Amino acid sequence: MEARFLTIVHAVRHRATVTPASVATVFIDDRGGEHPITYGALDAQARVVAAMLAGAGGPRGPVLLLYPQGLEFLTGFLGCLYARRIAVPAYPPDPTRLNRSLPRLLSMAVDAKPSVVLASREITDFARGFAAQAPLIEQLQWLTPEPDGAQPIAADAFRLPEPDELALLQYTSGSTGSPKGIMVTHHNLVMNVELCDYLRCNQADEVSVTWLPSFHDMGLVEALLQPLYVGYQNYLMTPAAFLKDPQRWIAAISRYRATAAGAPNFAYDLCVRKMAAEQRRALDLSRFTYAYNAAEPIRPQTLERFADAFAACGFRPESLRPCYGLAEATAVVSGPRRPDQSGWKSVWLRAAELERNRVVFAPEKSEDARRLVGSGRLPPNATCLIVDPNELRVVGPDEIGEIWLASPCVAQGYWGRPEETEQIFKARTTDGRGPFLRTGDLGFVSPDGELYITGRLKDLVIIRGRNHYPQDIEQTVEESNPAALRPGCSAVFSIDVAGEERLVIVQEHERRLAAESAKDGRLTPFSPHLDDPIDPDKVIADIRRAVAEEHGIEPYAVVLVKPRSILKTSSGKVQRRACRKAYLEGALEAVKIWVEGSHGASRPVHEGAVPGTKPVSAREIEAWLVRELAARLHLPPTGVNLALPFRTLGLGSQQALALIGDLEKWLGVEIPPTLPWRCPTVASLAQHLMTAVANAQKPTR
C-alpha cells in the first residue's frame, strides 16, 4: 500500500482546494439536528486554530484538547496538525464524576507537559470551578477558538508537516496511575487510514455513521479521519446519544443509507436488546455492508444474534467484520476485506488444550470445545510473528503465543519512556528478527492466514470497549472500606457471562468482619475479643459503589474470602489467573458472595420504550425511579434511599445514560446527561423533571 497524501493535512488541503463546497462531516446533536461542515469551512477553521497556536506565547509543547464530541474537536485537532503541534486528545472532565475524570486528566497533563489547552467555551467556563483542585491545568494557557473570532492563517503562510513528525500522543485508557502517551507520527496516521481503506475497498458512494469517542484511537482514526482522507460522507453522533438510546445509531444508519459503521462488541448486543421488533421493521440496512466490530473480545453469539435480529431489515450476516487493533499500532491491525463475501470466520478448539497454549481443533459444538472468532488477515505490508513471551522464540503453527507486529502503522513508542519503548516497540526474537511491537495479546494464525485472538498476556480487563488495569480497580476496592479489608489482598479479573465480559472482584477481609453463625444465624465476630463486627453486606455495598463511581463499571460478582486465603506467588504477588480459575471452579474460601441478580427485584430492566401513562406528580416519578434503580442495581426497593446521591447507590455511567434514555421516552422531554449531577438524588431529580414535564405541556401562543 502506498499513501495518496503525505499527511492528513495534505489530504484536507487538497479537498478544500478541489471541492471546497463538498460536505466533509455532519454532526448530529442529541436532538437530531444536523450541523454540516464543508471542506472549505473545515480548512478555514483549522487555519484559525493554527493562527491562534502560532500566536500563543511560551514553549511550543504538546497541545491538550478538551472538547466534547463534535465539530469543535475536529477543527481543534486539525488546527494542531496545521500548526505542526502535537495534539493530545483527552476525555473532557465529567462534572458528574469529577473525582474520577479530573485525576486522569491531571496525570495526562503531568506526563505530556502541554503548553496550551484548546477547549470549548463551555469546558473553559466549567474549568474555572475546579481550578483550585487542578492548579497545573489552570496555569496553562487556555485558548477557545471561535469560527469568526480570528483571522485564519494564510494558506501559503505555513509549512505543511513532514510525515516523520509527531502528530499526536494517544494516551492509553483505563489506568489512572501511570498513563502512557503513544507517539503517533503523521505517517503512522496516513498508513492506518490507508489500511482501513484497503480493508473496506471504499465505494464511490460510501457513507458512514459513528458515535465512537473521537478521543479514542478507533473513534479518531477509523471513524473520523478516514472519511476526511478518502473523501466520503460521515455522520458523527455523541457517545451519550447512543448509550441513552441505541436505536438512534441504527436508525441513522438506515436514514442516511450508510454503508459502513462500527463499534465494540457490547454495542451490537445493546442494539439487539434495546430495540423491539416493531422498531426494527421500519429500518433499511441493505446498504450496511461493513459493520466492523473491534476494541474488545468479539463473541460469536453476538454476531449471530445481531444478524438474526436485523435480517428482516436487509442486513446480511457476511457484512459483519470482526477486526483487531491497538493504540500502539495507531488503531487497526487486521480485518476481513469487503470483497470477501464468505462472511466472518470462526474455529472450534479444545478448551483444555487452549489452557496449555496449544491449538487443537475440535468438531463443531463438541463437548469441551470453545469457539473463537477470526480477526481477518494482516495487509501485505505488515508482518506478524507468534512468539513465546518468555523464551522469545517463534512458536510452531500448533502453539499459541504473543502476537508480535511489524508495520508502518506501529507507533514510535511511549512519550518520555525510553526503557519501556525499547522493551515493547523494539523487541527481537532469539534468532535476531526484529524490531517488532509486542502487542501483549495472545493468539495464533490459522493455516488459511486468519488471525485469532485467544486472550491477553497482561491482566488487562476490557469492559465495553474500555481498558481497565486491575491494579487500579484493586486499589479502589481496598480503599472503599480500609477498616474491613486487607490491603494488597484483592484480585480483579473478568469472566464471560452470556457472551459479555464482566468484572469479578475477590477480596480478603480483616478478622473482625462478621459472619453468620451456623447455629443461630446471628452475626458474630471471627475474633472473640472484638465486639464491633462489620456487616459483610455493607462491605460489599461499599465495594460496588466505589468501583461504579471511580471506574464506571458495575461488578458482576464480589467475593469476600478468608484472611490469608487469596492465591499469591512465593514473592507475595496476587495470582489473578489462579484466582479466576478458583472462582470458576468454586474453590475460593469464600465468606460472603454477592452475584448480580442475587438480591432485590427479579423484574427485568425495561427493554426499549418504557410503557405506562404520563406522570401527574413528582411522587409518580419518584416511584418509577426507585423501581428502575432497584431493578438495574439488583437491590430491593427499600434499598434505594431517596436522599442519597446516585453515585453512592453504585450506578455506573453507562447505566445512568441508559436510565436517562428510558426516562426521556416515558416523559417525552429531553434530559441532558449532566442533569443527575445537578439534581443528584431521586427526590431532587423527580421534582425537577415534574417541572420540565409541566412546562413542556403548556400550550404555546
Torsion sign (Cα): 143, 147, 149, 154: positive
pLDDT at site 225: 97
Tallying the residues shown for the chain, one arrives at 701
Alpha helices, DSSP H only, in 328-469? 351-355, 418-425
| Amino acid type, 376 | G
| Amino acid type, 415 | W
pLDDT class of 629 with cuts at 50, 70, 90? confident
For 211-254, write each residue's pLDDT tens digit: 999 999 999 999 999 999 999 999 999 999 999 999 999 999 99
Q: Rounded mean pLDDT of 594-609?
A: 49
Q: Rounded mean pLDDT of 121-147?
A: 83
| Amino acid type, 499 | G
pLDDT at site 155: 57
Torsion sign (Cα): 111, 60, 146, 28: negative
- Reading the block at residue 664, the C-alpha cell is 426521556
| Amino acid type, 67 | Y
Closest to 287 (Cα-Cα) out of 256, 264, 312: 256
pLDDT class of 181 with cuts at 50, 70, 90? very high
Mean pLDDT, all residues of the chain: 85
Q: Give exposure, 75-108, as e/b (b: 16+ Cβ within 10 Å).
A: bbbbbbbbbbbbbbbbbbbbbbbbebbbebbbbb
Round to whole Å and give the CA distance between 644 and 563: 32
- Reading the block at residue 522, the C-alpha cell is 446471628
For 381-402, write each residue's pLDDT tens digit: 999 999 999 899 999 999 999 9
pLDDT class of 519 with cuts at 50, 70, 90? very low
pLDDT class of 92 with cuts at 50, 70, 90? confident
Q: Taking CA 402 as the corner, what is the angle to CA 296 and CA 322, rounded to the nearest 5 degrees?
A: 30
φ, ψ of residue 582 to 5 degrees: the values are -65, -40
Rg (CA), the chain: 26
φ, ψ of residue 446 to 5 degrees: the values are -75, 165
Q: Are 373 and 322 in contact (CB under 8 A)?
A: yes
pLDDT value at 512 more than 70 = no
Alpha helices, DSSP H only, in 552-674? 576-585, 618-633, 653-667
Closest to 104 (Cα-Cα) out of 3, 180, 183: 180
Pairing of strands 207-210, 233-236: parallel
Task: Say how many C-beta atoms besides its own lie within 10 A of residue 424's C-beta.
Answer: 18
More confident residue, 190 or 678: 190
Closest to 206 (Cα-Cα) out of 256, 247, 268: 256
pLDDT value at 553 more than 80 = yes
pLDDT class of 598 with cuts at 50, 70, 90? low
Round to whole Å and give the CA distance between 56 and 118: 11
pLDDT value at 285 more than 90 = yes
Q: What is the DSSP letter of 38?
A: E
pLDDT at site 126: 85
Round to whole Å and give the CA distance between 516 and 528: 14
Instruction: Tell me which range, 147-161, 162-176, 518-532, 609-623, is most confidently predicted by mean pLDDT.
Output: 162-176
pLDDT at site 470: 84
Q: Rounded mean pLDDT of 614-643?
A: 79
Q: Are 590 and 560 in contact (CB under 8 A)?
A: yes
Q: Is the peptide bond before 680 cis (omega within 30 degrees of 0)?
A: no
Q: Under DSSP, is residue 334 helix (H, G, I), strand (E, B) or coil?
A: strand
More confident residue, 497 or 178: 497
Alpha helices, DSSP H only, in 28-154? 39-55, 71-82, 98-112, 121-127, 135-138
Round to whole Å and give the CA distance between 444 and 606: 41
In this prediction the pTM is 0.79
pLDDT class of 478 with cuts at 50, 70, 90? confident
Which residues touch 180 (CB under 8 Å, ≥6 apart)? 111, 171, 172, 414, 415, 417, 420
Identify the bridge partners of residue 350 per DSSP, sorted by sequence position: 369
More confident residue, 394 or 694: 394
For 484-508, write each residue's pLDDT tens digit: 898 778 999 998 887 788 999 999 9
For 25-55, write each residue's pLDDT tens digit: 999 999 899 999 999 999 999 999 999 998 8
pLDDT value at 603 more than 60 = no
Q: Tell me the HSE value of 171 on the side-chain side, using a 13 A CA sphere.
A: 26
pLDDT at site 605: 33
Q: Are 537 and 514 in contact (CB under 8 A)?
A: no
How distant, in Å, are the alpha carbons of 379, 399, 412, 533 from that of 528?
Answer: 67, 54, 60, 10
How distant, in Å, are the alpha carbons of 322, 352, 395 from that of 362?
Answer: 22, 11, 21
Round to whole Å and give the CA distance between 697 and 91: 36
Q: Are 640 and 629 in contact (CB under 8 A)?
A: yes
pLDDT at site 690: 80
**Share above pLDDT 90 across residues of the chain, in percent, rounded to a whole number:** 51
Round to whole Å and give the CA distance between 592 and 588: 11
Largest Cα–Cα separation, the chain: 86
> What element of type H or E holds 63?
strand 63-66
Helix-helix angle 536-551:98-112, to 10 degrees: 50
Task: Say how many C-beta atoms besides its own lie within 10 A of residue 157's C-beta.
Answer: 11
Q: Are 182 and 327 in contact (CB under 8 A)?
A: yes
Q: Under DSSP, is residue 402 helix (H, G, I), strand (E, B) or coil?
A: strand
pLDDT class of 532 with cuts at 50, 70, 90? low
More confident residue, 670 or 212: 212
Round to whole Å and give the CA distance between 197 and 200: 5
Round to whole Å and give the CA distance between 179 and 373: 30
| Amino acid type, 212 | L
Round to whole Å and give the CA distance between 151 and 50: 10
